Structure 1
Amino acid sequence: MDKLYPRLCILLLLLCAAFLNSAQGQPAFFGNPFVKNYSTEDFKGGIQSWGIIQDKREVIYVANNFGLLEFDGAVWNQYPMPNGTKVRSVYASDENTIYVGSQADFGFFKPDARGNLQYFSLKNKIPALHQNFDEVWRIVELKGKIYFLTFKNIYCYTPGKGVEVIVPDNPLELSFKLHESIYTQEWNVGLCVLENNKLRLLPGGEVFAQTRIASVLPFDRNLILVFTAQDGIYLYDGQEVQPFQVEKGSELEQLVINQAVMLKDGTFAIGTQDNGLYLMNKQGKLLLHLSRREGLFDNTIHTLYQDEHENLWLGLNNGISLVELSSPFSRIDGTKGVSGAGYAALVSNNQLYLGTNSGLFASQMNSASHSFSLVPNSTGQVYQLRANKKRLLVGHHNGPYTVADNRASKIFSGQGAWDFVEIPSKPGYFILGSYDGISLLQEVDGQLQLVKKYRGFQESSRVLSFDSNGTLWIAHGYKGVFKINFDQAFSKLVSINFYNSKNGLPADQLVGLEHIRNELIFPARYGVYRYHQASDNFRKDEELSSYFHEYEHIIDMEEDIQGSIYFISDERVGKISFDKFGKPLMDDRLFNNIRSRLNDDLQYIRVLDLNNILFGAKDGFIHYNAAKGKAMSGFRTHLTKVINTSQESDSLLLAEHKIAETANLTLPYKLNSLRFIYSSSFFESPEKTQYQYYLENFDKNWSEWTEKTEKEYTNLSEGKYTFHVRARNIYGTVSEAKGFNFVVEPPFYRSRWAFAAYIMAGFFMLGTFFYQVDKRFKREKNQIILAQERKLNQKETEARLATELSEQEINRLRNEKQQSEIDHMNRELTSSTIHLINKNEVLNNVKLELQGMLKEGELNKHSDELRKIIKNIEQNITSDADWNQFELHFNHVHGDFTNRLQERYPDMTPQEIKLSTYLRLNLTTKEIAQLLSISVRGVEISRYRLRKRLGLDRSDNLTDFILKF
């Protein structure tokens, strides 16, 4: 009975799975999820990645061929192993420690003083007997101990202590952590559990004695799911093993599995050796298959990891891929067989049709793969799809088409067809809008035929619809709106009315036409408008317009069966739903992720049903699963580095691992220029994540949002600062602000000691000031006393003044007399000098004539007497007596000039004294030459020597110097 009960449980479970499997007609993934690939050039690592983990800061770590990789959402960092070996496993503990396992070594990375990760090997803690081991393929933590799992031994490390070795009797395969226990496969024994540092074979586990296990995962409280590498999937209840039934005929029946993980929604992700990724639910149904064809870098998946935001990371044989499983959006593009930009979509006869600029594509709605194929004869631009009984109407660039039996047929030859609208009052009749007007079509024997082309209206008719009165409206995107009335038989046009900005619309251009709440509305350049028949003009619909911004242009709108409105505008994409009181609820943040992907030619929305909405994209279509939604959970912002830029080369002050531990960073004033580098842990479209920063005590407010991941501040003044940074992801969710405190110390001249000195100097200056004030007070007091005394002695002063005036007059007369005498003496001196010059000139001329006569021999008999006469003349010319007399008078007139000159320049020669004297009299060079009995050239030479004696520059005037001396 004990063995029968588990079997019944398994049987009942499988029956439930089969029932649920048959009940689910529609696959979980309409298209393929978005995939972000990282190449080896992106993360600067080796091609193979063997393990992925996320720490408490939500930073991703990867075990890679080139070492440990770290990804913070913005930058990849690489930490190679000291011995250059490959990292095979990685585990992030809560102690800011990253454990890694490599080839014949294991240990951990821990931040150094600046926050950079540094490796510490634990191999030296292993007993020498067990240091020879192979690669560490798994690392798990259990009850505060770290287990390094190899194919040879299990190594148990107690942080801060030693390593204990668990030696099995047989070689091991991969090991797993499950339900706070370690499961492993002992070869030739089976599936075992580690208990009290010993391996115990589980009941029934011998089934896996020689069957390699890829993963062991929880299935429910009592069952576990065992994924083997090549022999299928099994359910184990603790006693017996039963095959797990997967969807028959699916690829799940034949997989080579490297690893499987259980996702947060209860489904299973399976990484295979050669065929990419598979998603399977608990009923064994295939939900999704992704390979290189669907956008992965590689088909070989070594490891899988689901992060905090439910994204699935894949460590590939060549690169790393991120699959956005949590997103409600998926893509229907070339990976599903659809090529070109999306323009139209429709479900008809259990077929999903998609129209692109390349043609019309179709797929069965209940197809698990949703693989599309091109409808024959439909190649070219498709504009619109309309359902008509068992046929599909296609607005095509080549004309109007119908699709039946999976083949497109042209209705008639003509120019391009935009759209079809059925005439409400005439079943089986359609109005066709084309490039050059409108036409009437009729269904005859199940076939559409052209009845007539209407004359008198040749405008392009892309957007057209009938109102409740049977009037046809056509919105022309560049002109306005046309209202067309037909006769009762629709044989001709009765009237054509044209409306534009003159009739209430805000502009002639960009007027649309939509059916909302079974009424015709006209989204215009801004605002939503309705036609008022009584006044024959357009008026703004205040309610619908209030849902949008004042100048927002609504491009396309679509309503689901619950009245929710999906829209595309020139500003955003969104959904307007209504609560039970009719209050509108705007949701546009979720759609930010797809806005840049949408077709910007003719934007398009199609509501297939309540939960499936398609948007025309630049590449195919984007599917929105309204039932799935998206959790707008918070995410983290990281301040990853603080770098000093004050020096010639930048220097790292702190990295992220130490920033959180640093309560307050103190910097000297010379390091007052800093660069902050930051990132966020939101990995969906990280290039579109924006950041705001704010430096408290410097910035007045938060900065504008920017996609830059760093901010630099230069020449900060001394003081306390707090740098704040926060991120906003593509969905508009803002993370909690990250703060970092630091202090810039003042320069030495603004330090405490300097201010103490300044205070002392201030007191000294204050004392000096008071002293000066007191002194000035006393002085002013004395001045007042003196003023009184001046008043008392005023009469005496006036009398003395009169006496002084008399004395001044006498002195003036005396001075005039003295000046007259000086002038007279100066004239006499000048006259004497001139006389002396003349005398010397005459004597010199006589001397020259006598010398000439002696040379000619005219007076030979009197030559001796002549020589005596010449000698007497020369002595008379050079006689000092005349000079002494002259010098006496000269010094008397010129303030003892020669004596003063000799006192200042004691090395001056008598010749230089004489030259200075003659210069003082302002004599010419020729006159001076005669007085000195030298040539004019000699005077010039003497002047030059005198300048040197007086120390004059070339720019100084010698005569001016003598006259002013």
Structure 2
Amino acid sequence: MKLIKLYTFILCLITGISLSHAQINAVGIPSIKNFSKSDYRGGTQNWDIDQDINGNVYFANQNGLLQFDGLTWRVYRIPNSLDVRAVKVDNNSGRIFVGGYNEFGYFESGLNGQLVYTSLMHLITDSNHNLSDFIWKIHVYNDEVVFQSFMSAYIYKNNKINVLKAPNRFQFSFVVNDALYFQDIKDGILEYKKGFLHPLKESTFFNNSEIWGMFSIPQNKILIATLEKGLFIYQDEKITPWNTEANSFIKQNGSLGGAVLKNNALLINSVLNGLIICDLKGKITQHLDIKKGLQNNTVLKSYVDDKNDIWLGLDNGITFVNQNSPFTFFNASYNLSTVYASAVYDNYLYAATNQGVFYHELNKSFLDNNFSLVNGITAQSWNIQVIGNELVCANNNGAYIIKGNSVVKKLDNQGYFAFKETPSNPNFVIGANYGGFSLFEKTKTGLEYKGPIEGFTNSTNFFEIDETFLWLIRDQHLYKLKLDINNKKFTSIETIVQLRPSKSAINSLQKINNTVYFESQNHFYTYSKEKNVFNEAPWLSNLFSKCPPINYVKEDSHGNLWYRSGESLGAHLKDDHGNFKHSQTIFSNLNGYLVSNYLSINTYNQNNIFIGTTNGLARFDSKFNSSFKDKPKVYIRSFSYAQDTIIHGNPKDKKREYIMPYAQNNVKFTFSAPEFENSQNLTFAYQLYPFDKNWSNWSNTYIKEYTNLREGNYIMKIKVRNSFGKESDVYSLNFTVKPPWYRHYLAYVAYILLLAFIIYLVSVMVKMRYRKREYYKTIEQRKIYLEKESKIRKEQYLLEKEIEKLNRDKLQTKLRAKDKELVTNSLQVAKKNKILNNIIQKLKTMEIESVNENTKVQFNALKKNIAKEIKADNSWKDLEKHIKNVHFDFLKRLKEKHADITPRELDLSTYLLINMSTKEISEVMNISNKGVELARYRLRKKLGLKRKENLTGYLMSV
């Protein structure tokens, strides 16, 4: 048994060494990405390929010149010819030379950065020359540019064209070892030197064949590829067939040229069967065709870019082959589907898939040999692993032992997930099946099924075994199961919800360096049986502290720690000194292709690590020395504002200042990075300084817009990070937004002048206002003075009026008193006169006859004196005159108001005004009291007074 183990180890070691020293793509196929005509919006055929110093790739397409910057395609047309057959980039001048039918010239960057075409046809001065053919090849040779058609070659130098006519008819031309060769259909291969053609000896051998490729190989040999006759070596003026595996392939499938890889390998295009890669001894190490992922088997052109990756111009489409990568793949072209596990056993590579277990012999070429299905096992296979000296498969239909290409034993009919050896007794193996767990034992005749383990019937594929317990995770709960001494029954089952009070979710359990670890939120714990607690493992927690949230960790056979985070894969890989180095972004091209809830890692050696995916088996070479270590390049591909779009990233961009008016302060940027490997995983970060204070987060967005920028100087900075985590240098673009007219510096000068003028005007106005205020203040003071004076005068006037009124009232009072007195006197006089009249009447009635004459005389004299006294008394007239004089105004107003009033009524109104009584009025007016009442009634009627209106009051209001 020990001899068998030793033999197997030596055989695997030898095989591993052979695999590790094979060409990178000898095991599996590289990643292939196809571009159809709908992707690049051109024609189907692509005849030529080249790359500029910025990394942009150009294709001579049936519908024009194609340019690809890694993210976007652009199509450029040339006049007079839709079909472009040749393209060549001159990195010194920045010109992209192209040739089509009856047309050749160059593209170069215009003022706005876009490619502008310039035709060179007008430089042909030979009037007898008529170009009526395609330009098939373009060479930048020394200080000349050579455009080759079948009939002539056109030498462009110093802005002149010299025509080099073919001796008979050219086929194609090639630059090899700094020499330019033409094939003539009769004169053989001709070397171009200083404007003349010199034939190579013995090269007329190729007169009846078309040469499509000439390559330099060691020992001063030139490899010549013909269309139908195969491959030949030209050395020391001798031509010999290159009798190799590659030549046999080309003889069967024809050749359309090829290219040289930087790792001493050759690419040879075929007409019928895709592309082959061979070493310098002609051994085919890789064959790519439709079955392996190409979209067309006719390869018109192959080109090796600056990253040593391959571009193929096909008869229908364009293909990118990620040759310079640590990854190759065994996919559906190798008969593999979803791979859940893989193993190397007895010189076979096995893969457990959803269709069964497939195998491939390690000592046989992977070139065109597919994986084969193991006989006797089909359906879903969850795991395949080496236990002891046997290969055990956990399948949906049971547990199987596999040997070579077939099943040799079926251990149990129950469906199984995986198997684990018990550390306490390595002769026992526990298998997780659909109904719990079963026990197996290693015997001399091999692994034997011992029966189910009682006490637990739930299924799981996540379990580990230590010296004492079987641990498993189900529904984010951790179960601790203890077996009896015979491993026949679980004696105790404990459910653990959390490892620590602060750690709720239990994400995974895994065995690392023979110790079971429990993980929660990237913190790892071990179980202490003595204290029945979970203690954190600092070294492992620190190792994963900067990783994204992980779902599972797996240790491979070399001590590398692989982990899964969501749909992403990462690893801590050990270097030669045993130190861990974290890698995650390098596996980004596997994102989304990992098998759900499974992490299949099979490290055969550091050069051959097999990873299970939904698309088959991925092979990873951790020692691969690739250009992915170089910094990627990044460009601001376009800069748009208003109606202008500035293109960047083309060769020899014209430098200019970007100054835009304020009305066009909305800008748009697009980014590009000529990183063609895993371009979907490129992430960009940008910062518009000083608008953005910090860099943006990394994202796949390659378009950014800014709106309503303020005036000022701006710097747009951009960087890219490729799928391997490498960051580019910062690419920047400066531009200026002019201020609006009202914030222009001239406007500010105008504002200052206007402000000064306003200040001056304000000062003048202030002075004027001060003067005006002082003037008005004086006027106001004068007004106040005059008002005061007027007020005083008014008050004085009012006082005088008041005095006058008082005097008038006093006078009126006096007048009334006088009137009263006069009336009284008049009444007394009237009364006296009445008395005197009564006396006269009495004297008349007295008998004077009886008196003496003397007495009679005295009586008569007395009567005469009394009558004379009465007649001489004018008191009534004086009273009437006095009343009219005193109450003249009243009588005037009353007369004006009542024009029909009589004098007698005026007298009555006056008597009533001075408040004379009826009796007094009757006496004055010499009428009876009833006469006074009647006069009063008539007066009221004439005055138009109502019954309730007071007559005296009315008269006083007149």
TM-based fold match above 0.5: yes
Among 524, 529, 534, the alignment partner of 2:525 is 529
Matched, 1:636 2:633: yes
Aligned-pair CA distance for 1:82: 1.6
Residue equivalent to 1:60: 57
The 5-angstrom pairing of residues 869-880 of structure 1 reads none
Per-residue CA deviation, residues 48-84 of structure 1 (Å, 9 max, x unaligned), is 0001111112111110000111112222111122223
Among 308, 311, 331, the alignment partner of 1:310 is 308
Aligned residues: CA RMSD? 3.7
Residue equivalent to 1:956: none
1:591 match: secondary structure: helix
Q: Provide the rounded CA distance (Å) in 1 between the counterparts of 2:245 and 2:613.
A: 33
Residue equivalent to 2:835: none
Change over 3 Å in CA distance of 1:503–1:683 after alignment to 2: closer
Aligned-pair CA distance for 1:301: 0.6
Aligned-pair CA distance for 1:299: 0.7
Deviates more, 1:407-416 or 1:269-278: 407-416
Residue equivalent to 1:486: 484
Matched, 1:129 2:128: yes
TM-score of the superposition, structure 2-length normalised? 0.76
Residue equivalent to 1:460: 459
Among 319, 331, 334, the alignment partner of 1:333 is 331
Q: Provide the rounded CA distance (Å) in 1 between the counterparts of 2:168 and 2:747.
A: 76
Q: Provide the rounded CA distance (Å) in 2 between the counterparts of 1:810 and 1:581.
A: 129
Per-residue CA deviation, residues 658-702 of structure 1 (Å, 9 max, x unaligned), is 994233122233322222233221122323323233222333333
Q: Contact between 2:221 and 2:233, CA under 8 Å: does it hold in 1?
A: yes
The 5-angstrom pairing of residues 123-202 of structure 1 reads 123-126=121-124, 127-158=126-157, 160-202=158-200
Residue equivalent to 1:922: none
Q: Contact between 1:672 and 1:717, CA under 8 Å: does it hold in 2?
A: yes
Change over 3 Å in CA distance of 1:442–1:408 after alignment to 2: same
Residue equivalent to 1:611: 607
Among 98, 105, 117, the alignment partner of 2:96 is 98
Q: Contact between 1:564 and 1:576, CA under 8 Å: does it hold in 2?
A: yes
Among 270, 275, 278, the alignment partner of 2:276 is 278
Per-residue CA deviation, residues 178-222 of structure 1 (Å, 9 max, x unaligned), is 222112222233333212222222344344343432211121262
Deviates more, 1:676-685 or 1:505-514: 505-514
The 5-angstrom pairing of residues 336-347 of structure 1 reads 336-339=334-337, 341-347=338-344
Q: How many residues align structurally?
A: 792
Aligned-pair CA distance for 1:385: 0.8
Aligned-pair CA distance for 1:545: 1.0
The 5-angstrom pairing of residues 720-739 of structure 1 reads 720-739=713-732
Q: Provide the rounded CA distance (Å) in 1 between the counterparts of 2:407 and 2:801.
A: 136
Residue equivalent to 1:888: none
Q: Which amino acid aligns with 1:698?
A: F
Change over 3 Å in CA distance of 1:719–1:786 after alignment to 2: same
Residue equivalent to 1:846: none
Matched, 1:600 2:599: no
The 5-angstrom pairing of residues 850-929 of structure 1 reads none
Per-residue CA deviation, residues 289-318 of structure 1 (Å, 9 max, x unaligned), is 111111111111100112222221110111
Change over 3 Å in CA distance of 1:777–1:414 after alignment to 2: same
Q: Provide the rounded CA distance (Å) in 2 between the counterparts of 1:234 and 1:23.
A: 31
Q: Which amino acid aligns with 2:297?
A: N
Q: Which amino acid aligns with 2:622?
A: A
Change over 3 Å in CA distance of 1:768–1:583 after alignment to 2: farther
Per-residue CA deviation, residues 744-792 of structure 1 (Å, 9 max, x unaligned), is 22333333443333232222112223334555667788999999x99xx
2:551 match: secondary structure: strand
Change over 3 Å in CA distance of 1:753–1:379 after alignment to 2: same
The 5-angstrom pairing of residues 630-779 of structure 1 reads 630=626, 631-645=628-642, 650-652=643-645, 657=650, 660-774=653-767
Residue equivalent to 2:795: 805
Q: Contact between 1:477 and 1:509, CA under 8 Å: does it hold in 2?
A: no
Aligned-pair CA distance for 1:173: 1.9
Aligned-pair CA distance for 1:715: 3.0
Change over 3 Å in CA distance of 1:443–1:715 after alignment to 2: closer
Change over 3 Å in CA distance of 1:719–1:135 after alignment to 2: same
Aligned-pair CA distance for 1:576: 1.7
Matched, 1:419 2:418: yes
Structure number with larger C-alpha Rg:
2
The 5-angstrom pairing of residues 82-93 of structure 1 reads 82-93=79-90
Residue equivalent to 1:70: 67
Per-residue CA deviation, residues 82-130 of structure 1 (Å, 9 max, x unaligned), is 2233111101112232111112321112334433323222222222333
Q: Provide the rounded CA distance (Å) in 2 between the counterparts of 1:215 and 1:829.
A: 143
Q: Contact between 1:527 and 1:550, CA under 8 Å: does it hold in 2?
A: no
Matched, 1:545 2:545: no
Q: Which amino acid aligns with 1:652?
A: T
Residue equivalent to 1:403: 402
Unaligned stretches of 5+ residues in structure 2? 1-16, 806-891, 900-958
Q: Contact between 1:350 and 1:364, CA under 8 Å: does it hold in 2?
A: yes
Q: Which amino acid aligns with 1:610?
A: Q
Aligned-pair CA distance for 1:475: 4.2
Q: Which has the higher contact order (CA 8 A, sep 6+)?
A: 2
TM-score of the superposition, structure 1-length normalised? 0.75
Q: Provide the rounded CA distance (Å) in 2 between the counterparts of 1:827 and 1:546.
A: 126
Residue equivalent to 1:80: 77
Matched, 1:223 2:221: yes
1:377 match: secondary structure: strand
Deviates more, 1:731-740 or 1:51-60: 731-740
Matched, 1:574 2:570: yes
Q: Contact between 1:504 and 1:538, CA under 8 Å: does it hold in 2?
A: no
Q: Which amino acid aligns with 1:805?
A: E
1:57 match: secondary structure: coil
Q: Provide the rounded CA distance (Å) in 2 between the counterparts of 1:675 and 1:826.
A: 100
Q: Contact between 1:523 and 1:553, CA under 8 Å: does it hold in 2?
A: no
Change over 3 Å in CA distance of 1:114–1:25 after alignment to 2: closer
Identity between Structure 1 and Structure 2 (%): 27
Aligned-pair CA distance for 1:609: 1.9
Change over 3 Å in CA distance of 1:801–1:274 after alignment to 2: same
Aligned-pair CA distance for 1:245: 4.3
2:606 match: secondary structure: coil
Deviates more, 1:501-510 or 1:201-210: 501-510
Aligned-pair CA distance for 1:143: 1.4
Q: Provide the rounded CA distance (Å) in 1 between the counterparts of 2:584 and 2:138.
A: 42
Q: Which amino acid aligns with 1:760?
A: L
Per-residue CA deviation, residues 587-624 of structure 1 (Å, 9 max, x unaligned), is 22212222232223323222122221122212112211
Change over 3 Å in CA distance of 1:386–1:811 after alignment to 2: farther
Aligned-pair CA distance for 1:42: 0.7
Residue equivalent to 1:34: 31
Aligned-pair CA distance for 1:427: 6.0
Aligned-pair CA distance for 1:351: 0.7
1:760 match: secondary structure: helix
Unaligned stretches of 5+ residues in structure 1? 1-19, 816-824, 833-965
Q: Provide the rounded CA distance (Å) in 2 between the counterparts of 1:316 and 1:749.
A: 59
Q: Provide the rounded CA distance (Å) in 2 between the counterparts of 1:264 and 1:811.
A: 131
1:129 match: secondary structure: coil
1:376 match: secondary structure: strand
Q: Which amino acid aligns with 1:570?
A: G
Residue equivalent to 1:46: 43
Q: Which amino acid aligns with 2:453?
A: Y
Change over 3 Å in CA distance of 1:552–1:169 after alignment to 2: closer
Aligned-pair CA distance for 1:797: 9.7
Q: Contact between 1:477 and 1:512, CA under 8 Å: does it hold in 2?
A: no
Residue equivalent to 1:450: 449
Q: Contact between 1:271 and 1:277, CA under 8 Å: does it hold in 2?
A: yes
